[in-house]
Amino acid sequence: MAFRILLCEDEPGLRLAVTDRLRAEGHEVETAPDGDEGLRRAIQENFDLLILDVMMPGRSGFDVVREVRQRGLATPILMLTARGEVVDRVVGLKLGADDYLTKPFAMAELVARVEARLRGSIARTAPRGGYRFGDVSVDFGSAEVTLAGEAVELSAKEFQLLRHFIEHRGQIQSRDDLLNGVWGVDAMPTARTVDVHVAGLRKKLERNPHVPQYILTLHGLGYKFVG
């Protein structure tokens, strides 16, 4: 499977080498030369993995991890550091990083760690039989949804939208992301279509649709499911 990876690294030679190797493995790789751009892209775009150098111009890798996690993003994070001190590794992991790799490293080890993080991501984002949040139970096999044990009637598109949210839980989804992921790139619905379907899901699944607990609106960015 091909995944979308953001590499934040200020050293041009290493940035190019890592990018080439990961692309050779079949992944889509975007890059950022500093922490400020890396943070902006991590928040505004959808990635399956973030690779962050600790020491970068602008925000450090630690700063980026902290901000990403404070915003509720669950994207796996692999940190690169030239330092060997245990304290740096501990700090990164405590801030929310999932793994670290000390420079210099062999490309084979980098690929192995990337694959390990992506496998974990698949396990988290691709529920199999069903999913439960709050009083809501979702059965993907039968396309049945219940709220506190009572059946909830969802349209086909509402169910597809709910599944997309669950598979991308913790990630910001712009209206374009939702249109492409649920309706398809060749479809002709508008952003208003997304808002109407989100409102429908909230009305059927949220205790208070006007103060949603699970499907949150992030003004200027889109929506985020936190169930």
pLDDT, one tens digit per residue, over 174-208 is: 888 888 888 875 555 677 889 999 999 999 999 99
> Is a pLDDT exceeding 70 seen at residue 52?
yes
**Residue pLDDT, tens place only, 105-115:** 999 999 998 98
**Tokens 């740096």 found at:** 88
* Residue 71 to residue 144: CA distance in whole angstroms: 31
> Which letter, b or e, does each residue of 146-178 get, where b requires 16 or more Cβ atoms within 10 Å of its Cβ?
eeeeeebebeebbbbbbbbbbbbbebbbbbebb
Six token digits for residue 221: 């960015």
Q: Could you tell me which CATH number the domain at 130-225 has?
A: 1.10.10.10
Six token digits for residue 161: 């939208």
Per-chain mean pLDDT for the chain: 86
Percent of the residues in the chain that have a pLDDT greater than 70, as a whole number: 90
Asked if 6 contacts 32 with a C-beta cutoff of 8 angstroms, the reply is yes
Q: Assign a CATH topology to domain 4-125.
A: Rossmann fold (3.40.50)
As beta bridge partners, residue 53 has 80
* Rama region for 58: left / alpha / beta (φ>0; ψ in -120 to 50; rest): left
> With bands split at pLDDT 50, 70 and 90, how would you rate the model's confidence at 126?
very low
* Residue 32 to residue 198: CA distance in whole angstroms: 33
What pLDDT score does 161 carry? 92
**Domain range summary for the chain, segments of one domain joined by +:** 4-125, 130-225
Asked if 108 contacts 22 with a C-beta cutoff of 8 angstroms, the reply is no
